[in-house]
């Protein structure tokens, strides 16, 4: 796909102007691997040494950009509301039916709704005012939360209603997420996308750690109905906060049939080799998230620890991801960001594969935290590269596809690992899975030349987005926010 090369070429030229000899073409796998292993650590150390002040999360974007500050506050409220639901829905169905299978059905419906919402939201975000779409999606989500609360306070709650509302909230929450992702370059400018991605990841990871615990406390103290009601209040506060955003009209384009518009977004992944490669690597890395389904079995059969330790192991990857979000300030202007994306993705599978040799729960926790850190570094780079190299009029659809592959990748990874444990031991399944993923990472490093030399230099001119500057109006804060 991305391996075309002129036979007359004797050198490859990187984005930063340096030439790379093609003398290793006789052994491309060894040449690429050796080059990446030899130079990546040197580039990272040199970049961090020059940018010590940006090692930690840069708060200037949050301080200086009122519109983005509004988004961060609203997103935090939204993440906590949705996080509380992830606890309440399974607990209520389990208490009502006693059937883990029915819990799984509700989760599958929510995931299916989210997948459809991401794709539909991508199309709508490119043809509607994104502010209106965000407000609509969050408002309708809040209505779903309120309906769950009514059902939760009922003396005979309806499981069918929970199923329907899980699908409802999954769809509309994803609709809002896609529109918000597409609006990010408009609100912060493409030069600040790295910092924006860190804030987004930090809110999601912190919410993912804290909101289930908060939801569990509310359920234990007051009941599941109050959990839903708290989530509904959080949704209401989210909408009130988002109303401060400025209008974000779409770029002027001729209207298309929705399916044709979605096809144009998919086609762009093949036209722009860099963005297509980023999405492909992201899909591969997201497969590793499926390892979570094996943690209870690993804890019981390999590490010989109880349920409390399982909860700690589940927190390991989010903890590593949080550290990545807090300390990833140096990623924004890294000259070889594409190569770093490939390297961090491969290293994440090395950390994951180490579980195949580990028999101690503490060491396993460290390995899982390392996997969370490395996969989140890869995710931050994916977000920034996709946003910076996608034209304004395609941001909604490309963001929807990028987010959808993350959702499906996690599910397919879980399915693959679960299936492998039926024929091989647990540790062997993790090791084989990680080895195959690592080899796939190497193949992508060889094949995706445009990604190997991609850069996030702050002053870099991006030809794929240059045409957007004339069609994208600068965000103007609403009067209430200026005051």
At 144-161, the pLDDT tens digits run 999 999 999 988 889 899
Question: Using CA atoms, how far apart are residues 204 and 219, in angstroms rounded to an integer?
Answer: 22
| pLDDT score recorded for residue 327 | 81
What is the extent of the structural domain holding 143?
A: 59-248
Do residue 229 and residue 301 come from a single domain? no
What is the pLDDT averaged over residues 180-204?
81
User: Would you place residue 332 in the very low, low, confident or very high pLDDT band (cuts 50, 70, 90)?
Assistant: low
Do residue 74 and residue 210 come from a single domain? yes
What is the pLDDT averaged over residues 308-332?
79
What is the pLDDT averaged over residues 412-433?
88
Do residue 334 and residue 434 come from a single domain? yes
* Contact between 68 and 246 (Cβ < 8 Å): no
What is the pLDDT averaged over residues 237-251?
88
Do residue 395 and residue 452 come from a single domain? yes
What is the pLDDT averaged over residues 3-24?
41
Domain boundary among the residues 248, 270, 289 is at 248
In-domain check, residue 241: yes
In-domain check, residue 15: no
In-domain check, residue 447: yes
Do residue 218 and residue 349 come from a single domain? no
| pLDDT score recorded for residue 35 | 58
* Contact between 402 and 389 (Cβ < 8 Å): no
Q: Which segment of 14-18, 187-191, 261-265, 285-289 scores lowest on mean pLDDT?
A: 14-18
Do residue 160 and residue 128 come from a single domain? yes
Do residue 386 and residue 463 come from a single domain? yes
In-domain check, residue 3: no
Do residue 413 and residue 365 come from a single domain? yes
Do residue 463 and residue 324 come from a single domain? yes
Highest mean pLDDT among 8-17, 134-143, 397-406, 467-476: 134-143
What is the pLDDT averaged over residues 285-303?
85
In-domain check, residue 7: no
Do residue 193 and residue 298 come from a single domain? no
Q: Can you name the residues that pair with 398 across neighbouring β-strands? A: none
In-domain check, residue 477: no
In-domain check, residue 316: yes
Q: Can you name the residues that pair with 21 across neighbouring β-strands? A: 11
* Contact between 80 and 210 (Cβ < 8 Å): yes
Looking at per-residue confidence, does 477 or 382 come out higher?
382
Q: Which segment of 180-189, 236-245, 450-459 scores lowest on mean pLDDT?
A: 450-459
- What is the pTM (predicted TM-score) of this model? 0.72
| Residue 168 CB-density burial (10 A; 0-12 exposed, 13-18 middle, 19+ buried) | buried
* Contact between 392 and 130 (Cβ < 8 Å): no
In-domain check, residue 398: yes
Do residue 337 and residue 463 come from a single domain? yes
pLDDT at 388 over 90: no
pLDDT at 16 over 60: no
Q: Can you name the residues that pair with 20 across neighbouring β-strands? A: 12
User: Would you place residue 11 in the very low, low, confident or very high pLDDT band (cuts 50, 70, 90)?
Assistant: very low
| pLDDT score recorded for residue 24 | 42
* Contact between 2 and 277 (Cβ < 8 Å): yes
| pLDDT score recorded for residue 89 | 84
* Contact between 293 and 433 (Cβ < 8 Å): no
pLDDT at 438 over 90: yes
Do residue 96 and residue 239 come from a single domain? yes
pLDDT at 30 over 70: no
pLDDT at 255 over 50: yes
Distance between start and end Cα atoms, the chain: 52
In which element (H, E) is residue 132 found? Answer: helix 130-153
User: Would you place residue 426 in the very low, low, confident or very high pLDDT band (cuts 50, 70, 90)?
Assistant: confident
- Give how many domains the chain has, as a whole number: 2
What is the pLDDT averaged over residues 265-283?
90
Give the angle subtended at the CA of 112 by the CAs of 109 and 113, to the nearest 5°: 85
The rounded mean pLDDT for the chain is: 79
Q: Any idea what the CATH number is for the domain that residue 124 is in?
A: 1.20.1250.20
């Amino acid at each position: 796909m991305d391996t075309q090369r002129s036979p007359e070429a004797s050198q490859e030229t990187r984005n930063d102007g340096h030439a790379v000899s093609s003398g290793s073409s006789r052994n491309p796998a060894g040449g690429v691997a050796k080059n990446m292993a030899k130079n990546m650590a040197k580039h990272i150390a040199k970049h961090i040494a020059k940018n010590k002040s940006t090692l930690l999360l840069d708060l200037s974007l949050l301080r200086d950009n009122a519109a983005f500050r509004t988004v961060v506050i609203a997103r935090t409220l939204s993440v906590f509301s949705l996080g509380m639901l992830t606890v309440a829905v399974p607990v209520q169905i389990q208490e009502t039916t006693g059937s883990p299978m029915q819990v799984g059905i509700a989760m599958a419906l929510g995931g299916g709704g989210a997948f459809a919402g991401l794709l539909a939201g991508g199309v709508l975000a490119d043809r509607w005012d994104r502010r209106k779409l965000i407000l609509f999606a969050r408002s309708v989500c809040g209505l779903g939360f309120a309906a769950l609360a009514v059902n939760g306070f009922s003396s005979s709650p309806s499981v069918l209603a929970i199923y329907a509302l899980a699908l409802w909230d999954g769809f509309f929450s994803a609709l809002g997420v896609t529109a918000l992702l597409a609006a990010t370059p408009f609100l912060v400018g493409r030069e600040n996308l790295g910092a924006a991605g860190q804030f987004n990841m930090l809110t999601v990871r912190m919410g993912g750690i804290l909101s289930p615990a908060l939801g569990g406390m509310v359920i234990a103290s007051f009941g599941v109905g109050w959990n839903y009601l708290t989530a509904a209040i959080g949704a209401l506060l989210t909408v009130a906060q988002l109303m401060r955003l400025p209008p974000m009209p779409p770029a002027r384009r001729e209207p298309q049939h929705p399916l044709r518009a979605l096809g144009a977004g998919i086609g762009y992944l093949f036209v722009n080799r860099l963005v297509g490669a980023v999405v492909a690597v992201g899909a591969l890395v997201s497969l590793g998230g499926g390892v979570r389904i094996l943690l209870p079995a690993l804890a019981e059969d390999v590490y010989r620890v109880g349920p409390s330790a399982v909860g700690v192991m589940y927190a390991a990857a989010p903890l590593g991801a949080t550290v990545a979000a807090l300390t990833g300030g140096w990623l924004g202007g890294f000259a070889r960001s594409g190569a770093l994306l490939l390297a961090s993705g491969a290293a994440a599978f090395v950390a994951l594969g180490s579980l195949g040799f580990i028999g101690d729960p503490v060491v396993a926790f460290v390995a899982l935290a390392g996997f969370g850190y490395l996969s989140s570094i890869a995710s931050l780079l994916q977000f920034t590269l996709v946003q910076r190299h996608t034209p304004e009029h395609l941001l909604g659809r490309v963001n929807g596809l990028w987010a959808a592959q993350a959702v499906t990748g996690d599910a397919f990874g879980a399915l693959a690992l679960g299936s492998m444990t039926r024929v091989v031991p647990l540790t062997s399944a993790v090791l084989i899975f990680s080895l195959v993923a690592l080899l796939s990472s190497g193949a992508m490093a060889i094949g995706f030349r445009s990604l190997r030399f991609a850069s996030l230099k702050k002053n870099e001119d991006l030809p794929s987005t240059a045409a957007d500057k004339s069609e994208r109006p600068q965000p103007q804060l609403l009067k209430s926010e200026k005051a």
